[in-house]
């Protein structure tokens, strides 16, 4: 029986996956029996302590797309690709220590309630709910898509079982790999042009037995079932279980990867595998702070992307769901910061494994989205004791722990901020039922978008930029009394048009995708880099010399004969920095030689290019950084200008709101209600806690707990960077 195999999965793999699903479903059913009120369903009764809050924060911040996206970006951009998932989170740690109490002190069921209370507008709360639902649909699709690609790679078809059409594209992928491994300047002119063509075509090399769309629906249904049945209590209890699985996921493959690297390259022990990294990968690939020779992660990309994440993350509705359920202020702070820090250490482990996969599979897998799944099958499959099943269960756990929080956040907003204003005065049971139905709606739409999307990284960047629509209204509403509804509306509507309506609408209603102007790309640039030759470099050079001699004998090359190379000698190598679409998020498609845009349109870059800034002359990384800078500053500028020239908000309402935000959550629910009664009677009773009392700025003085938390969380962030530097430096000669 143990020899049974189904699509590459052993009997024990299937058993592990089955047991995992049964446990998760039982937790959802048991938690559903204890739900009595809306607060029980959407906020778990606000009774959670530090341990559960830590794993809740870790779960909602960590999903399978974080794992696969890190692997994808490291395979594409080297060690600096780790920053895509790490950078903003490190800057966020001390920020989270100060802002976590905001979400607890709001005492709301959804973050949409904040916009209604602060700006006095139910319509704004509804707009926020709609915007965040769109955001959660995108990020839900991102996770489902990443999960499916990874499992598809685990169940990949062998070459002998490809269809005729699949084999033709597979052959193109092999041709591209062959040309990319050669020194570009030594290729004949025809091969140079062919390489440029294949880099734009991006042929697939990986195909799977599983129906990816069907798998998306299966995982979506299970997530929906336990989340909608058991509410936030079920989600947080499952997060505790799944957090353990996710930690397993973060470390399980590393020792197996080290063993295989040592067996292939002759190393010994842990240090042998690290030495192999530096011997087999080019120096630019191991540049942690970004390399000008890599397409995405320059130092300025990392900096501005990090700042954008810090600003935009604060406006995510799941922040309130994950933090607002804590029993008091300190629990909210401690649990959230500790959970997010745990994720940052996991990020480093994912990055390390991603570097190992480049050594093991570089050049073998054309689509880096499939690397993690391929590594799972290759490294764990031969062990045959259910470890592949454990990895799949861990990946599904990482997906569902985050997506269940998003589902509850989305259904809470739709119920409280869109449905309840139109259907008031119903029982809590009615609103809980509607919340469950809206959760079904959310998950179905997310599954659909997962089916129609194609690029993990571009979908990831879109989700990170999306909350620029809402960030200015959130931050200035918390800190600046002068921010008013007119300014918030102006900021949100303009950014919604520039982020959603135009980028997705213009391609849908026009022939913009086929516009000769809009398919413009950055220039394909040969870039030279100095390296210290390894034995592998010597072998590659000998093959290039042999190839040159064959071509020269046939009269097919006029380039100079490559020089003989010896190990340890510095030499120059030229690679082709590929052309990239400037204006389309997912690049270009080619049909009979004619290019057309894929994904959404990057409107801000179109405007800059039309104003005379020729973006084709800049690197892809530089152009992408411009979009981050635009989304950081422009919405704040709009809100400030409009607020200054329009009427301020009602002072009594603002006094009540800011009085509440200064009132700590301590003790029992009854203690908190007594404190709030005092604040409602005298909202200015603790204004002495403000740094600038009497001004328009609502900035609280820092106490000892604030200072200690910021210092320790900053040191924790530094410790993650130090660990990353050590890992990337180990084994360097």
Give the pLDDT mean for 707-722.
Answer: 93
Identify the band that residue 193 occupies on the pLDDT scale cut at 50, 70 and 90.
confident
At 163 the pLDDT is 75
Percentage of the chain modeled with pLDDT above 70: 80
> Between these two residues, 727 and 484, which has the higher pLDDT value?
484
At 714 the pLDDT is 93
Which long-range CB contacts under 8 A does 547-550 form with residues at least 24 apart?
A: 547/182, 547/186, 548/186
Identify the band that residue 579 occupies on the pLDDT scale cut at 50, 70 and 90.
confident
At 143 the pLDDT is 73
Examine the pLDDT at 480 and tell me if it is beyond 80.
yes
- DSSP string of 469-532, one letter each residue: GTHHHHHHHHHBTT--HHHHHHHHHHHHIIIIIHHHHHHHHSSGGG-TTTT-BPPPEEEEEEEE
User: What sections of 266-328 are H helices per DSSP?
Assistant: 269-280, 299-313, 317-323
User: Rounded to whole angstroms, how far apart are CA atoms 432 and 35?
Assistant: 9
Domain boundaries, the chain: 5-33+41-156+206-480+700-729, 651-689
Examine the pLDDT at 225 and tell me if it is beyond 60.
yes
Q: Identify which of 317, 322, 326 has the alpha carbon closest to the alpha carbon of residue 442.
A: 317
At 460 the pLDDT is 63
Examine the pLDDT at 489 and tell me if it is beyond 60.
yes
Give phi and psi for 681, each to the nearest 5. Answer: -75, -35
DSSP designation for 62: -
DSSP designation for 576: E
Give the pLDDT mean for 295-323.
Answer: 79
pLDDT tens digit string along 165-182? 777 877 887 777 777 766
**Mean pLDDT of the residues in the chain:** 79
Q: Are 2 and 12 in contact (CB under 8 A)?
A: yes
588 membership: H or E segment, kind and range: strand 588-591
What distances in angstroms separate CA 190 from CA 174, 186, 195, 221, 716, one per listed residue? 17, 11, 9, 51, 53
At 465 the pLDDT is 77
At 34 the pLDDT is 60
> Between these two residues, 307 and 386, which has the higher pLDDT value?
307
Beta pairing partners, 594: 591
User: Rounded to whole angstroms, how far apart are CA atoms 348 and 725?
Assistant: 10
What distances in angstroms separate CA 86 from CA 67, 80, 277, 463, 718, one per listed residue? 11, 10, 21, 16, 12
Give phi and psi for 700, each to the nearest 5. Answer: -80, 140
Identify the band that residue 634 occupies on the pLDDT scale cut at 50, 70 and 90.
very high
Q: Are 373 and 217 in contact (CB under 8 A)?
A: no
User: Rounded to whole angstroms, how far apart are CA atoms 317 and 42?
Assistant: 12
At 293 the pLDDT is 47
Examine the pLDDT at 48 and tell me if it is beyond 80.
no
Identify the band that residue 365 occupies on the pLDDT scale cut at 50, 70 and 90.
low
**Helices (runs of H) and strands (runs of E) counted in the chain:** 27, 6
> Between these two residues, 648 and 397, which has the higher pLDDT value?
648
User: Rounded to whole angstroms, how far apart are CA atoms 360 and 262?
Assistant: 10
Report the range of poorest mean pLDDT among 398-402, 479-483, 695-699.
398-402
Beta pairing partners, 584: 601
Examine the pLDDT at 625 and tell me if it is beyond 80.
yes
555: alpha, beta or left? (left if phi > 0; alpha if psi -120 to 50): left
At 185 the pLDDT is 67
pLDDT tens digit string along 588-610? 877 767 888 888 889 999 999 89
At 287 the pLDDT is 73
> Between these two residues, 81 and 655, which has the higher pLDDT value?
655
At 118 the pLDDT is 94
At 377 the pLDDT is 78
Examine the pLDDT at 210 and tell me if it is beyond 90.
no
DSSP designation for 14: H
Examine the pLDDT at 304 and tell me if it is beyond 80.
yes
Percentage of the chain modeled with pLDDT above 90: 18
At 1 the pLDDT is 43
Q: Identify which of 191, 246, 213 has the alpha carbon closest to the alpha carbon of residue 61.
A: 246
Indicate the burial class of 240 (C-beta count within 10 angstroms; 0-12, 13-18, 19 or more). Answer: middle
Q: Are 73 and 711 in contact (CB under 8 A)?
A: no
Give the pLDDT mean for 425-449.
Answer: 79
Report the DSSP pairing between strands 588-591 and 570-577: unpaired
261 membership: H or E segment, kind and range: helix 212-265
Q: CB-side exposure of 195: number of CA atoms within 13 Å?
A: 23
At 4 the pLDDT is 46
- DSSP string of 523-580, one letter each residue: PPEEEEEEEE--HHHHHHHHHHHHHHHHHHHTT---SPPPPP--TT-EEEEEEEE---
pLDDT tens digit string along 62-116? 666 677 777 777 877 777 778 767 766 788 889 989 999 999 999 887 788 899 9
User: Rounded to whole angstroms, how far apart are CA atoms 401 and 423?
Assistant: 31
Cα–chain-centroid distance for residue 52? Answer: 23
At 47 the pLDDT is 63
Give the pLDDT mean for 408-436.
Answer: 79
Give the pLDDT mean for 609-622.
Answer: 85
Examine the pLDDT at 637 and tell me if it is beyond 90.
yes
At 292 the pLDDT is 47
pLDDT tens digit string along 508-550? 888 888 888 998 888 877 767 676 776 667 777 888 788 777 7
> Between these two residues, 362 and 118, which has the higher pLDDT value?
118
Q: Are 236 and 52 in contact (CB under 8 A)?
A: yes
Tell me the CATH number for domain 5-33+41-156+206-480+700-729: 1.20.1730.10
Examine the pLDDT at 587 and tell me if it is beyond 70.
yes
User: Rounded to whole angstroms, how far apart are CA atoms 731 and 733?
Assistant: 6
Using alpha carbons only, how large is the chain's radius of gyration in Å?
27
């Amino acid at each position: 029986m143990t020899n049974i195999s189904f699509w590459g999965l052993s009997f024990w793999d299937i058993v592990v996956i089955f047991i995992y699903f049964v446990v998760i479903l039982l937790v959802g059913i048991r938690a559903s029996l204890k739900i009595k009120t809306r607060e029980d369903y959407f906020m778990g009764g606000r009774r959670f302590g530090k341990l559960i809050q830590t794993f809740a924060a870790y779960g909602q911040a960590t999903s399978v797309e974080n794992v696969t996206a890190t692997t994808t970006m490291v395979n594409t951009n080297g060690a600096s690709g780790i920053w895509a998932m790490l950078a903003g989170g490190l800057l966020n740690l001390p920020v989270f220590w100060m802002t976590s109490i905001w979400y607890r002190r709001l005492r709301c069921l959804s973050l949409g309630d904040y916009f209604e209370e602060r700006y006095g507008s139910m319509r704004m709360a509804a707009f926020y709910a709609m915007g965040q639902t769109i955001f959660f649909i995108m990020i839900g699709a991102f996770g489902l898509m990443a999960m499916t690609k990874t499992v598809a790679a685990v169940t990949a078809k062998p070459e002998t079982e490809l269809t005729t059409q699949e084999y033709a594209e597979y052959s193109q992928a092999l041709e591209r790999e062959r040309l990319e491994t050669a020194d570009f300047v030594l290729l004949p002119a025809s091969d140079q042009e062919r390489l440029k063509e294949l880099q734009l075509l991006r042929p697939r090399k990986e195909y799977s037995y599983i129906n990816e769309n069907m798998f998306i629906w299966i995982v979506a249904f299970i997530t929906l079932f336990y989340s909608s049945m058991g509410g936030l209590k079920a989600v947080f209890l499952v997060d505790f279980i799944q957090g353990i699985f996710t930690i397993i996921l973060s470390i399980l493959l590393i020792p197996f990867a080290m063993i295989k690297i040592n067996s292939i390259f002759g190393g010994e022990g842990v240090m042998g595998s690290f030495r192999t990294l530096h011997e087999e990968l080019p120096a630019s690939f191991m540049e942690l702070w970004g390399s000008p020779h890599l397409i995405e992660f320059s130092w300025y990309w990392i900096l501005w992307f990090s700042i954008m994440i810090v600003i935009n993350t604060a406006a995510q509705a799941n922040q309130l769901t994950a933090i607002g359920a804590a029993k008091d202020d300190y629990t909210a702070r401690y649990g959230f910061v500790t959970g997010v820090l745990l994720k940052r250490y996991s990020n480093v482990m994912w990055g390390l494994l991603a570097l190992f996969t480049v050594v093991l599979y570089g050049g073998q897998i054309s689509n880096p989205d499939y690397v993690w799944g391929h590594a799972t099958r290759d490294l764990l499959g031969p062990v045959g004791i259910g470890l592949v099943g454990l990895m799949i269960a861990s990946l599904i756990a990482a997906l569902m722990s985050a997506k269940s929080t998003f589902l509850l956040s989305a259904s809470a907003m739709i119920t409280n901020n869109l449905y309840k204003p139109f259907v008031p005065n119903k029982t809590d049971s009615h609103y809980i039922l509607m919340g469950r139905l809206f959760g079904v709606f959310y998950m179905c739409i997310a599954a659909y978008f997962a089916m129609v999307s194609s690029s993990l990284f571009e979908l990831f960047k879109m989700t990170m930029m999306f909350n620029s629509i809402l960030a200015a209204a959130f931050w200035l509403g918390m800190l600046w009394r002068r921010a008013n509804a007119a300014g918030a509306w102006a900021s949100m509507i303009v950014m919604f048009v520039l982020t959603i309506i135009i980028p997705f609408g213009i391609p849908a209603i026009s022939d913009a995708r086929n516009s000769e102007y809009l398919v413009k790309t950055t220039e394909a640039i040969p870039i030279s880099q100095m390296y210290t030759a390894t034995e592998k470099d010597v072998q590659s050079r000998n093959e290039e010399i042999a190839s040159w001699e064959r071509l020269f004998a046939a009269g097919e090359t006029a380039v100079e004969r490559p020089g003989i190379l010896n190990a340890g000698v510095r030499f120059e190598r030229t690679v082709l920095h590929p052309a990239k679409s400037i204006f389309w998020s997912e690049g270009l498609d080619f049909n009979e030689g004619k290019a057309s845009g894929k994904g959404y349109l990057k409107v801000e870059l179109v405007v800059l290019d039309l104003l005379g800034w020729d973006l084709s002359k800049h690197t892809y990384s530089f152009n992408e950084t411009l979009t981050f800078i635009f989304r950081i500053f422009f919405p704040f500028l709009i809100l400030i200008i409009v607020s200054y020239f329009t009427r301020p908000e009602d002072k009594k309402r603002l006094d009540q709101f800011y009085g509440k935000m200064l009132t700590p959550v301590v003790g029992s629910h009854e203690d908190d209600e007594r404190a709030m009664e005092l604040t409602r009677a005298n909202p200015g009773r603790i204004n002495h806690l403000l740094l600038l009392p009497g001004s328009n700025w609502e900035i609280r003085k820092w106490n000892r707990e604030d200072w200690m938390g910021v210092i320790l969380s900053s040191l924790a962030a530094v410790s993650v960077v130090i660990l990353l530097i050590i890992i990337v430096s180990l084994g360097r000669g």
